[in-house]
Amino acid sequence: MDGEAEIQAALKPLGIEYERWSLDRVPPDSCADAVLGAYAVEIEEMKRRGGYVTADVIDVNPATPNLEEMLARFDKEHTHDEDEVRFILSGRGIFFLVLDESVASVEVGPGDMLRVPRGTKHWFTLCEDRRIRAIRWFQATSGWTPHYTDSGVDTAYQPLCFGPAYLGQRVQAAFGPGQALGQKR
Ligand SMILES: [Fe+2]
């Protein structure tokens, strides 16, 4: 599944918003302030849409100090009191979204904007190159606050990225009760 409309149609019933945004505004390795400036119009529009008050640029890569500890904060099932909104500038990762009794996995890469409603159980992991750079929006100035569920459901899924050559697999959504998609071990 690759086309924007097709992915939107698959995710909309799950309450998840997806858009493809242009990446030609600024070089992807520009400093955070340059990125925020280049996307100022989109950032302000998104703030109006979702009631967000602040945005920043998160940059995670193999040179990030304590990378594994940081990734361990993302890759356990959790919720937030606010939406999780990401526009991916570079790198790739997978969102696992828990929907009733099913799990949907969405691989995101450069140009993907994903908006996951508050309260959605989810976790996130990076693809093999261990890097992601993204704009984030927040409804509170306190920033990223996870509430871990400690359900252990995250341990049953392999963080397997297919990459841009396998876009057919990038959105997997299960709708039937009891179904679990993703890459279950
Ligand atoms: Fe999260």
Per-residue pLDDT tens over the stretch 7-23 = 888 888 889 999 999 99
Residue 116 burial by CB count (10 A; 0-12/13-18/19+): exposed, middle or buried? buried
pLDDT, greater one: 99 or 138: 138
- Statement: residue 135 has pLDDT above 70: yes
38 alpha carbon to ligand 1 midpoint, in Å? 25
For residue 2, the CA-to-ligand 1 centroid distance in Å is: 24
Whether residue 78 contacts residue 121, with contact meaning beta carbons closer than 8 Å, is answered with: yes
Residue 73, sorted as left (phi over 0), alpha (psi -120 to 50) or beta, turns out to be: alpha
Give the Å distance between the CA of 73 and the centre of ligand 1: 9
Distance 22 CA to ligand 1 centre (A): 24
- The answer to whether the CB of 125 falls within 8 A of the CB of 71 is yes
The rounded Å distance from CA 24 to ligand 1 centre is 27
- Asked whether residue 81 carries a pLDDT value surpassing 60, the answer given is yes
Cα torsion angle, 19, 98, 125, 81, sign: positive
Q: Is the pLDDT of residue 169 over 50?
A: no
97: DSSP letter: E
Q: Is 157's pLDDT higher than 90?
A: no
On average, the pLDDT of the chain sits at 85
Q: What residues sit around ligand 1, an ion, with C-beta below 5 angstroms? A: 84
> CA–CA distance from 82 to each of 28, 118, 128, 153 (Å)?
27, 4, 28, 22
Q: Provide the percentage of residues in the chain whose pLDDT is more than 70.
A: 86
What digits encode the pLDDT tens for the residues 90-124?
Answer: 999 999 999 877 888 899 999 999 999 999 999 99
Higher pLDDT, 45 or 6: 45
Q: Give the per-residue pLDDT at 62.
A: 94
CA–centroid distance, 84 to ligand 1, in Å, is 6
